[in-house]
Structures are given as structure tokens and as C-alpha cells.
Amino acid sequence: MLELYHGFTSVCAQKARLTLAEKGLEWESHVMALNGDQLDPAYLKLNPNGVVPTLVHDGNVIVESTVIMHYLDDTFPTPPLMPRDPLDRARAHMFTKLMDEYIHPACIVYTFATANRGPLASLSKEQRDAQLARAPLQRQSEYKRAGVEEGLNSPMGKEATKSFEKLLKWIQESSERGPWLAGPDFSLADIAAIPYMVRLEMLKLSRMWDNKPGVAKWWERVKMRPSYETA
């Protein structure tokens, strides 16, 4: 039995849902409001980091979205979501690593500098500090603080912009080699990138790829996949 603890707006949870959808797997949904319920002691027993997603498979707990993606692909190999060609496989691993190390922090900064800035900015510094201090992962609090207090002009904001520009450059370059990010077939590389493109659209920043036709065409292909609507 597969169970997924997730939030509808979480980019990391979107990765897990996309993988489940591409595999055609049935799973039990546990929706988190992400208004503090992710810090409930019962949930922290499952995921000490207090984040989503968390996958439970026959009682075994798997955390971290990239780990969950690979676990599902290894456990349910049809259809495969990792390329067989060694070079394409390396590219897929590169994409998932780059999303985790660079793009996810950039996404947090962008989100809290724009859509989520108002509610936190309206709090007193003491109230804001108390709310940010609740996050188990201190580095995420730092990203959120930079977004709320300094906006996109902060050093972290500028670095986030550079990271997103790199992402779009990687996608554009990949589009020149084939239809998908790691070769001729849709893979975990595409799944890893999709939620961040969704977030840019949500933040009304799709103009960032106006001059990148390869990105636009890849994005059109993504939106035609049934998993895009399902997840």
C-alpha cells in the first residue's frame, strides 16, 4: 500500500505526485494544509524535517522528494523513468541534483519575496522571527527571511534570479538535443524541473522564457501529458 503525505502547493510534493501519475499507481492521499500541521509531533515522527512529501510504502517511510522519485522508479519499473543510455542517465541525475541544490532554494526565496511576502511582512519583527523559528530546517528560514525582509533585490534574491536563469538555460540547451531533458524519453529529469516552472507561472514570471523557444516548446509538451493535469 502506498500513502503520500503532501500539500497541493508544495513543489516537492508535486514531484512525488507526478512520478506516481506517470507510473499509474494507486495511492492513499493525506493532504497537509501546511499551516503548521507539518510540525505536529505525530507527523514529525514520520518526517523529522517537518516538510512534505513523505511516502509510506507498506509501513516503510521514505522522505525527500528526489529519493521518493527514485524509490518509486526502482520499485515499480514500468514505465521506466530513468534513461538506459549512460550519458542520458547522467544528465537525469545532474538535473535532479541541480534542482535540489540550486533551484529549490531559489524557489523559496522567490515565493517569499512575492506571493507569500505580504502576510509575513505585516507581522512585527518579533512575531516574524517566532514564526520563522518554527521551521525545523534553519536554512529554509534564512531563505524565507531574505525573501520577506529584502525581496528580490537582496543578495539571496539576486542569486535566486541567477539560479532560475541557469535552469532556463539548461532546459534550452537540452531542447537542442532532444524533446526531453535527458534524452528522447520523458524522465525524472523532466519531473524534477516541472514544479519549478509551474511556480514561475504562478508568480506570473513566464516572461523569463519569452526569448527561449526551446523552453516554450518543452513546456508545451509537458502540459500535454496526462500526468500534468493529474498531479
What local confidence, expressed as pLDDT, does residue 122 receive? Answer: 65
What local confidence, expressed as pLDDT, does residue 133 receive? Answer: 67
All residues at 6 or more sequence positions from 228 whose CB lies less than 8 Å from its CB, including other chains:
18, 194, 222
What local confidence, expressed as pLDDT, does residue 94 receive? Answer: 96
d(CA 156, CA 184): 35
Helix axes 213-223, 155-175, angle to 10 degrees: 80
d(CA 196, CA 7): 15
What local confidence, expressed as pLDDT, does residue 112 receive? Answer: 81
For 20-45, write each residue's pLDDT tens digit: 999 999 999 999 999 889 989 999 99
* Low-confidence stretches of the chain (pLDDT beneath 50): none
What local confidence, expressed as pLDDT, does residue 125 receive? Answer: 73
Report all structural domains of the chain as residue ranges with CATH numbers, in order of start: 2-75 (3.40.30.10), 86-225 (1.20.1050.10)
Peptide bond into 155 cis (omega under 30): no
What local confidence, expressed as pLDDT, does residue 231 receive? Answer: 85
C-beta neighbour count of 120 within 10 angstroms? 17
Sheet holding 28-31, edge to edge: 28-31, 2-6, 54-57, 60-63
For 102-140, write each residue's pLDDT tens digit: 999 999 888 887 766 556 666 677 776 677 667 666 666
What local confidence, expressed as pLDDT, does residue 113 receive? Answer: 78
